[in-house]
Amino acid sequence: MTDSGNHFEGLRGGPADEEGAGQQAAEGSAEHGSVAGGSVAGGSVARGSAAGGSAAGGSAAGGSAAEEQRPRARRRRKIGTPPPAYARRMLGDGHAPEPEDRELPAEPADPLAARKAERIAALCFLISFLGSAAFIAAYVIFQVRSVDQAFRSNLALGLSMTVAFLALAAGAVVWVRNVMPYVQLTEERHPLASTDEERREFATTFTESTEATQVVKRPLLRRSLLVALGPLALAPLLLLRDLGPLPRKRLRRTAWKKGTRLVVQSTNLPIRAADFSTPGSLITVIPEGTGEDLNAVAKAATIIIKFRPGELQHPTVMNWTVDGIVAYSKICTHVGCPAALYEQTTHHILCPCHQSTFDATKGAKVIFGPAPRPLPQLPITVDGEGYLVAQGDFVVPVGPSFWELG
Ligand code: FES
């Protein structure tokens, strides 16, 4: 019954001073002697007191008339006032339903403080929104083409995201601590399986808790939170841009083209077929003109091996070889290590990472290890000056079996 003077604004019942002359109306009473707190002590209206001559509701006829003449705007229920059914019951309406026995209070203890906290929380959410927007702007504006630019970009991204999360957390803390009702609940130990009654209680608690968050009742809080969360959810999507442009067919191509000379990787010099005459030799070659482009070199690295006549067998493509010289991709088809350990006696190419072994005389087919397919063979020939050149690119993709071709 305390503080009910606040609760009953707009529900005043009538002229309580009709009960006795000369009595003095306390706080909340008007010229009609309105009831504050629903009780009258000895005919005097006392806020929150409950002794003697009740005049709850002050339901005199004159009160009803005054009620009708009073502007309807004053009858509006404000935040913090009790629900109408509960108010009627407090005013002595015997037909009013019993108030629900709640586990959690529907309202915070101090509505004014809650209102103030709501504004602070909304301000925090607004700051969070600005932080998220700044994060997106920083991501778009700051280029990262140098170390300095990357530093500035990281600083801007970090600061803006810090502000966004910090303000969001601060708003949530203010909301929970000052807007939601504060209660302490103790739950006793019980069997693990919930009874039907417990489930019903849970549903009730959940419903009341949702109500207690005030999120439905306070649109300012709700909307400012949604505004804060919107760009925050969008920010991670922007990071997908860092995956770069779609590779399209670039991963299926290497720098080898028709007529491109094979140059020794260590010297960048082209090599004649006649100069590579020692059977069992192996050299790593790259396309001429790609020495500075490390990405191109990494994909196009190739080994050439010299064999004696008759050593090369099916499925090696013979018309892609020159005088017993065959060229294979150096990139292991397992996970892409350089496969360049060559056993001259067995003609096996070994990958040092997981010991995949390829038979160089038989189209580099896999004879051991996890590699799922042979090293691709590069079609080679010689140009007019006798230098080894490519007939074209590899006909199948090189490298790891992301390309699993069956
Ligand atoms: S990368 Fe060559 S065997 Fe694994």
Chain-centroid distance of CA 251 in Å reads 30
- Examine residue 104 and state whether it is found in any structural domain, yes or no: no
Q: Is 369 in the pocket of ligand 1 (CB under 6 A)?
A: yes
Ligand 1: nearest atom to the Cα of 369: 3
The pick from 303, 330, 337, 350 for probing ligand 1's pocket by mutation, whose C-beta has the most ligand atoms within 8 angstroms, reads 337
Per-residue model confidence as pLDDT tens digits over 249-290: 777 889 999 999 999 998 989 999 988 888 888 999 999 988
For residues 213 and 239, membership in a common domain is answered with yes
Is residue 395 situated within a structural domain? yes
Span 174-191, pLDDT tens digits:
999 989 888 887 877 777
- 334 Cβ closer than 6 Å to some ligand 1 atom: yes
Kindly state if the Cβ of 43 falls inside 6 Å of ligand 1: no
Give yes or no: residues 231 and 275 share one domain. no
Q: How high is the mean pLDDT in each 10-residue block of the chain (406 residues)? A: 38 38 38 37 37 38 47 52 57 60 79 92 96 93 85 93 96 92 79 86 90 87 89 82 76 90 92 88 92 86 94 94 95 91 93 94 94 94 94 92 56
Question: Is residue 192 in a domain?
Answer: no
Assess if residue 90 is contained within a domain.
Answer: no
End position of a domain, from candidates 243, 260, 275: 243
What was the pLDDT predicted at 65? 47
- Looking at residue 313, what DSSP letter applies? -
Count of beta carbons in the 10 Å neighbourhood of residue 375 = 28
- Report if residue 75 sits inside a domain: no
Query: Which two tokens mark 125?
Result: 């959410």
Nearest in space to 108 (alpha carbons), one of 11, 218, 227, 220: 218
Q: For residues 329 and 308, state if they share a domain.
A: yes
Buried b (16+ CB within 10 A) or exposed e, 327-350: bbbbbbbbbbbbbbebeeeebbbb
Q: Which atom of ligand 1 is nearest to the CA of 337?
A: 1
Q: Report pTM.
A: 0.46
Same domain, 126 and 204: yes
Residues 172 and 295 occupy one common structural domain: no
Residues 40 and 17 in one domain: yes
Q: Is 219 helix (H, G, I), strand (E, B) or coil?
A: helix
Cis peptide before 315 (omega within 30 of 0): yes
Number of separate domains in the chain? 3
Of the candidates 23, 63, 62, 64, the one whose C-alpha atom is nearest the C-alpha of residue 46 is 23
Domain that holds residue 18: 2-69
What is the CA(399)–ligand 1 centre distance, in A? 10
Sheet holding 325-329, edge to edge: 262-264, 282-287, 302-306, 325-329
Residue 153: phi and psi, rounded to 5, are -65, -45
Q: Are residues 134 and 201 located together in one domain of the fold? A: yes
Looking at the structure, tell me whether residues 237 and 266 fall in a common domain.
no
